[in-house]
Structure 1
Amino acid sequence: MPGGRLTQQERERIAAGLADKLSYGEIARRLDRPTSTITREITRNGGPTGYRPRQAHQATIQRARRGTPAPPSEAAPPIPAMEQEIIEMAVRAGMPRTAARVHHDLALSEDGRRTAAELTRRLKVSPASVSVAVNYLLQQGFVRRERDPLRRRDIYVIDDDAWYDAIMISEWQTLQTARATMAAAETYGLDSPVGQRLARAAAYLERVGLGILESAERRRTLLR
């Protein structure tokens, strides 16, 4: 895994990944960099919506010339080894690290509910990082959002159906991939080697996706 400062080219690829709405973890994987490096780079330089690769590169050069590194963020409290392993497993499965920490913190809360301010304070990360993390979790079905009408703030909730919802979203995406793969197979021709290979992949993905959906539905009562 490469070390040292990010290059201008890597920063351009980070910007391209953000434009394609890739997760921080996926951007890090494509650059063969730690997810924490990508998260820190984006957070320091405008966040996911304001990141500009050239400005970020110039800012890094200027900090290096001054010999004054960017101020470190306040450290979060130590995480017990067992809980850290759960977070690391989620990261290895593809979940961005901050999203994994947010998900874990919600799972351990008394009622499965936290505000963005509470998550920011507990995890010692920026509001922008929490916003990116919860948006990822919302898209994947791991949490849902409630609105507090009295205090005009969002509350993020992990409830009994969270894993069911996440599996349903994931497997519907698998079925969409199966359909797209079959369409590609038909384009190449089902009699061609490429078409046959794609058709087999499509059939496999469809069968697995439907099987998992059926299993998730049958066993949903285990969550309640």
Structure 2
Amino acid sequence: MPGGRLALEEREFIAAGLADGWSYTEIARRLERPASTVSREVIRNGGPGRYRADRAHRATVVRARRGRAPQPASPAAGFGMDDEALREFAARFAELLVFDGMPRMQARVLTCLHLTDSGSLTAAELVRRLGVSPASISTAVGALEKRDLIRRERDSARRDRYCIDDRTWYRTTLNLARASEAKVRAARRGAEILGPATPAGARLTEIGRYLDYLGSEMVQAVERWHAAGPSRSHPADR
């Protein structure tokens, strides 16, 4: 979107880049924007030392003098898909991930990857499919990488590709189990401080026991699932 209006996420990326001492050229390269666009944006809004993303964004809105409120996007929009039923499914799938606590942009990126035959897309492809800024994609894929939900590979054109595989959900479950272990330790520590004989201490002890059981069951379920191999089945499938 080199010729389009800067989004708030891009302005926040510019502000972060300036704070880290990046040049206009470096910021522009990462945003996939012309360097002149970045330099004009910064100079117009106070210069490198006074640039603030939210203030710059508000100023642009005022200058545009929009007299009409923007129309809300369809829940199914922004997945780069021609088939309406598939777009609706993608939107619903992403909402389920959001309901489970995943940030919306991460959920949309993960959904997009799951609905491709290759299971991989470049950052530029994600930008086009989701209709968002490069900065939004950069933040989302970085967080998903940290959670071990996607991996980064270099293709023959030396472009970064973001990929999922058949073990993505396996790793997701193990990550939940590890998070459960941290909560178990916290609950037990709380019970020690409050005293196990107090109502609050007893409550935390029971929470710790439950979460410990839940985490152990999740790990064992994943191990049973993988031990079953390709012939695995579930009673509901029969």
Please give the range of the TM-score, normalised by the shorter of the 2 chains.
Answer: 0.5 to 0.7
Match of 2:102 in 1: 95
- Name the CA distance, whole Å, in 1 between partners of 2:14 and 2:148: 21
TM-aligned CA deviation for residue 129 of structure 1: 0.7
Contact 1:140 1:170 in 2 (8 A): no
2:65 is the counterpart of 1:58 = no
Match of 2:218 in 1: 212
- Name the CA distance, whole Å, in 2 between partners of 1:110 and 1:163: 17
CA gap of 1:177–1:136, structure 2 versus 1, over 3 A, is same
- Name the CA distance, whole Å, in 1 between partners of 2:64 and 2:118: 46
Q: Choose 1 or 2 for highest CA Rg.
A: 2
TM-aligned CA deviation for residue 158 of structure 1: 0.7
> 5 Å matches for 1:176-187?
176-187=182-193
Match of 1:164 in 2: 170
- Name the CA distance, whole Å, in 1 between partners of 2:118 and 2:175: 24
2:131 is the counterpart of 1:124 = yes
Q: Match for 2:205 among 183, 199, 202?
A: 199
User: Which segments of 5 or more consecutive residues in structure 2 lack a partner in the other structure?
Assistant: 1-6, 20-50, 71-76, 231-238
- Name the CA distance, whole Å, in 2 between partners of 1:64 and 1:194: 51
Percent of residue pairs bearing the same amino acid type = 35
Match of 1:46 in 2: 12
- Name the CA distance, whole Å, in 2 between partners of 1:215 and 1:49: 45
Count of aligned positions: 178
User: Aligned Cα RMSD in Å?
Assistant: 2.8
- Name the CA distance, whole Å, in 1 between partners of 2:174 and 2:11: 35
Contact 1:87 1:104 in 2 (8 A): yes
TM-aligned CA deviation for residue 67 of structure 1: 4.7
User: Which segments of 5 or more consecutive residues in structure 1 lack a partner in the other structure?
Assistant: 1-39
Per-residue CA distance 1:54-76 (angstroms, 9 max, x = gap): 9344335434543536xx9xx84
- Name the CA distance, whole Å, in 2 between partners of 1:114 and 1:223: 28
> 5 Å matches for 1:72-111?
76=78, 77=80, 80-111=87-118
